[in-house]
Structure formats: C-alpha cells, structure tokens
Structure 1
C-alpha cells in the first residue's frame, strides 16, 4: 500500500540531499587557462581568437564560413537580416522553441507563422509547413529540438521549390547529424548557441555558419554597426583611416575572452557528445518499459546531440497531471524543467493577435512533457538518482 510518506512531497526523505539542475556548464583548468591567457594579452574584445574560434566551428560542422556573435539571439537576428526579412514578409517556424527564434523575425519587422510539430519528434512538421507557404513567405526557421535534426530533405526541397531561405536554429544541436551530414552545413544559415547549458559555452554567445559568401559578408557587417573598412567595398578610398557605415547594424560582437573559452571548450566536444549520448541511452533503458511515460522518439537516420532529455507523460496511466508530478520531482531535489511553452501562447504574442489552437499537436505535447537533468558533468550517481526519483514519483502516481 502506498502511503503519503512515500514521497518527499508529503514529508518523506528525498532521493537526493542536494539539488541537481537540469543543465550546467562543464569548465576545467584548461578553460580557465585559455581565458587567463587572453586577459593578459593585447586583445580582450575584438582580437585574433575570435577568428580561431570561428574557424574551429566551421571546420567541425563542415561549413565554409562562421561568424561569432554576442549571443544566440543576436546571431538569429543577424541571420534574419542577412535573409533580407522585412515588413510584410512571413517566416514559418515552430512554436516549440525558446521565444528568441520567432522574436528574431519580429526584430526585422517580419511576421512569424507557426507550423505544427510532428507528434513524435516534436520538430516542425514538413506537412504542416506546406499549406502555410504563400507569396508573402520569405523563409523557414527550423529548430532541431532537443538536439534531434528536423526533416531536412523535405524541408529543403519545399524551400527550393518556392525560393525560400532556410535558417536552422540549432541551439540544441552542435554535433548532431542528419543522414551522416553534420548540422551546420545543411541549411542556408545555421545558428549555434553557447549559453552555459548548451554543449559548449562562451558564457553567452552564438555563431552562424553558412556556405553562402553573400550571407557571410552581411553577417560580418551587421554585428559591427554595418561598418566596413574593406577597401574593395568603400565608396571613397582616399584616406588610410577611413571607414564607412554602409548598412544598419548593431554591436553584436563577441569578445576574445568569450572566444577563448569557446575554443578551449571545443577541445572536449567529442567527450561532451559521447557523455550526453551515453546518459540518454541509460535513461531510455531505464524508462522504456514504463507504461506511464513515453521516452523520446529518434529518427533512425539522425544522430541527436541530446541537449535535452524529455519524457512525455501517458495521462491514461496516471492518476495525477503534469503539475503534481513536476512538483514531486522537485521535492526529490531533481531539477526538472519544461521546454517549451508554445511561443504564441505568451501574453506578448496574444497581444499581436495569435490565438490558442493554431498548433494542436504542439499544445497537447506541451501539456505532457517534462525535461530531466542531462549534462556531461553529471556523475553516475546523479544519473542513478534521477532514474530512482522518476520511478519513485511515477510509481506513486500510477493508476495501478
């Protein structure tokens, strides 16, 4: 018989004595040394390490160009600018993402159009994209949610047919592959985020990779107030000190301090990816036979980079909803989270005229998902604690 003392929520002993966050950076002495070296050098803002970091990312993903930015959001803003998104343009994207994805469209005065998700992968559905394309459509912004790539064959085919630009928000997907091709070399432009919970970190930071030289040059200009010193682009060339602001831009530059950290972090990217995949595999093995939860579905032709591990509650097998289970896991000192509230349900977007019901699969999925801790600095004991905690809570709330 299950008593109320069974759960920490009701006064029992929690699985863990200390709180385990859902994500956390992994820094070591080499990272500290790399940053210290920059701090004692001649450059701490815009210096040579930025180019080294850009080259490292471009080489890793197999892209011709990479441009670093002060944040992932800044990078997305720049990508939309390079795509010439403007007022009256529509951009199709997914509602299951952080607000920055669609906000970047608004920054350029475009209109976000939300396409529903695939009910298994939680990525934007190519079938949902197709009927939304019209004469106003300028681009598609995909999101490789949790680290699993979107369905790029069909998406790129639709984009090519209608002359659309594809921007990949790959904030979750550094190191992920789609049909053996690394994310970062498939879409017209791809954004990577270096927030502390991502695969590698620069504190804050982002990067756009592309194989298109025109986009590359626009990205470089945009992050630096639209200013150029390139003699081949200047309208006047008389004075050696001369520079020109030729477009509208922002101060979105990354610092050498950030780049040094990112460059150091890239030295352990293979280890980071291996650990994330190993931990996800152990979660799958632990939970796959539990009727009360649904483990993440993975396309056989993709290899996720596993930024997030998300379980979906099977409400027909549980006597309580997501809120009670979420609170119970927190009481066990397991730092669960939810990714994400569908963007158009936020008050700001409601004020813009977006209404509930636009993407039913996204809304239904949001009501049932919980993100579990997953990061490479987790210990085996941390992993075991999460598994024990989930089984304990789910068992308590099971209808059986």
Structure 2
C-alpha cells in the first residue's frame, strides 16, 4: 500500500500562477504584495496592524526586542513548545522560565488540551520570583485563555505575546486569535493551516509597536528597499536600533494571498477529518482522544492522541508499529527543559506533568489532502496495534 505521510502540502494553481507573476514582474523582495498581504491578514483576524516576517520564530524574537525589556528579563512560556520559541527568547537576550502543563486536578478540559493552566503559570512565576513577559501557546489549535493566564502571571497584556503557530482559525470565546494581547505571532510553515513556502506574521493593535517591528525586521532600517526606490523616494535611511534580516518576500506574499482564499475550505476539511478520527477510534480503550476546547473554537492543527497503559502498547512501540505499516506520525513536543541546550533553565525536580504527557502522546496525520480512506486505514492500524499489544 502507498505510505501515508504525516503531512502533504497543497499549493493551489492560483498560488503557483501568482508566484510566476511576481517572478516575472522584476520585483521579488518585500513590496506591494507584502503590503497587501499585511492588510488582508489583519482584516482576516480582526487586528489593526500586521507585519509580515520570515517565520514565527523570527516574529517572537522581533516582538521581544520591540518590548524593549532589560537584558536578562524573565520570559515565561510552556515547556511543551517548539524549540524555536526558546531560541527566540535567548536570542533576544532574555531567560526562559518554563511552566508545566496543567495538573490532573485542574480543569479537565485544560488538561486534555496539553497546555498550561492558571495554576502552573502562577507556580512558574512564583518560582522565578516574578516574570517580565510571557509567550502563550495555542497548542494544536486549541485556544488558550490569554487574559486569565496574564492575570496568573501578574502581567499586563502589553507584556504578553501569543504564539499562534498552531492557532490559525482558533478563537478564544468569540474573538479570533490575533487581537487579544500585545502581539500575536503566526506561522505559515508548509505544515500549518495556511501553508506557504515559509513565512510568519505579527498582528497587533499598537501602531507604534507595528512601526517598530517593521524597522526591526529589516536590520532596524528606517526605510526598506520598496520605499527607498519608489518614485520620489530617498536612498537615505537611519538605523535607530539593531534589527534582524527577517522580512517576507513578495514571492511568498503572493502565494500566501492566494492560499488564504482556500482557508475556509481547508479548515472545514480539518473539522471533518477530526470527526472521522473520533468516530473510528472511540471504541479503542486506553486511547485518549483530543477534546474540543470549552474556551472557544479549536482549529485542529494537530490530532494528538494519548497512549495510556490500558492500550497494551507503549507510545514508542505504537509509533514503530504504524511506521512499519506505512503510517507516519510525529510527537509534539519534547519538553524544552529536558533539552541539553536549556538544561540551565530547568527547575529542580523537573516538570512532571509535561514529562508524563510527553511519554504518551503521538500526533496522527491531519491535513486537508488526507482522504477518508486514509483516515480509515490509520485507525485500522491503530486497532491492530492494540490487539497486537494484548489488550482485550
């Protein structure tokens, strides 16, 4: 049988044509397409301003720089996150403070979405003697209660950033992710809900913050090439603060603008696939299925299942069993505090909730090009694994 990849990217015919058009235009770096994409994305998520950048990791680092915190400031984030977030904190000159995942005794719905809780955020902040900023992750497309977590960390929303790499299409209550905190960082990586050949974005309601980001994303220069070379533009520029090389190109932006038109269809397909998985895996004991959040709309970027002891087979054995039968999987994420590079920031005694969850979770394939037949096959192989493990 043909293997089932963990992800497969759809770049539409319209996006490919837009790419060709920009390549033929003679202007391929940041310009009119990027400016248009910024306006359209801000409108889509209900934000006042948007700055397109090269990645979500760059977006987080740029936002931390733009906050102008003192060097060595303490930035709280979940340990169950992509390493790029931690690297961004360190690259901005600050110290990560890791929060554990929700305790089993916290709200069941929070615990089931594998995110931090108000209690674990408060514990992390207290352990650090207070924190200066926080990055809140909308894990797997589940909405995090940003305002409640800010209160738990004793921070104003002006010191809170949202990592919405998984959060395209997510809503907190009736508010789409993108306009709640000081800034929201999005990813357009090929595996994400809006797939592109890389890219990221920051949305904010703060015009001055957006202007600062616009300069910082291109070396801190007061004017980019588009503005310098426009008719009537000047070659002169200033650098008020050192920045990064993190701008988006017009080639990427043109692709993203066309891909955006298909986002409602892709989101609807993710919902269908999640329902199909639920129905076909519901009868398998020992397998914890992902639960929709009670705090808003889950965008279903990932379908994460928990392999409990009653399943009869350990998580790593299940991954190997699936792989041998042509089904690719992934794990989100290895707890950051266990990484050698970040060992100096690990709390004494570790973070037991995140460590326990990590040993049991696995992400199954979930993307719009996945067929119903493929979902059925994945579920059938999971059922075979349970039987092979000796579970009744």
TM-score, L = length of structure 1: 0.89
Mapped partners of 2:188, 2:166: distance in 1: 10
Distance apart, 1:240 and its partner CA: 4.4
Bigger mean CA offset, 189-198 vs 129-138: 129-138
**Conserved 8 A contact 2:136-2:146:** no
Mapped partners of 2:341, 2:64: distance in 1: 20
1:130 correspondence with 2:122: yes
1:390 correspondence with 2:389: no
Q: 1:333-363 CA distances to partner (integer Å, 9 max, x unpaired)? A: 111111110011111112x352574321111
Match of 1:328 in 2: 321
1:354 correspondence with 2:346: yes
Q: 1:90-141 CA distances to partner (integer Å, 9 max, x unpaired)? A: 0110011110112111011111001111232211211111133366521110
- Structure 1 portions without partners, runs of 5+: 1-16, 231-238
Match of 2:141 in 1: 147
Q: 1:129-169 CA distances to partner (integer Å, 9 max, x unpaired)? A: 11333665211101111000112241243467557611111
Mapped partners of 1:55, 1:193: distance in 2: 17
Match of 1:319 in 2: 312
SS at match of 2:162: strand
Distance apart, 1:301 and its partner CA: 3.1
**Conserved 8 A contact 1:137-1:164:** no
- Superposition pairs for residues 9-158 of structure 1, below 5 Å? 17-118=1-102, 119-133=111-125, 137-158=131-152
Match of 1:368 in 2: 360
**Conserved 8 A contact 1:88-1:136:** no
Partner residue of 1:379 out of 368, 371, 381: 371
**Conserved 8 A contact 2:98-2:345:** no
Mapped partners of 2:152, 2:207: distance in 1: 23
Q: Judging changes above 3 Å, is the alpha-carbon distance between structure 1 residues 153 and 243 closer, same or farther for their aligned structure 2 residues?
A: closer
- Superposition pairs for residues 212-231 of structure 1, below 5 Å? 212-229=206-223
**Conserved 8 A contact 1:173-1:183:** yes
**Conserved 8 A contact 1:292-1:398:** no
- Superposition pairs for residues 203-352 of structure 1, below 5 Å? 203-229=197-223, 240-315=234-309, 317-350=310-343, 352=344
TM-score, L = length of structure 2: 0.91
SS at match of 1:133: helix
Mapped partners of 1:45, 1:319: distance in 2: 54
Count of residues in correspondence between the two structures: 374
SS at match of 1:59: helix
Mapped partners of 2:390, 2:299: distance in 1: 31
Match of 2:165 in 1: 171
**Conserved 8 A contact 2:313-2:386:** no
Bigger mean CA offset, 285-294 vs 334-343: 285-294
- Structure 2 portions without partners, runs of 5+: 103-110, 225-232
Partner residue of 2:178 out of 184, 188, 205: 184
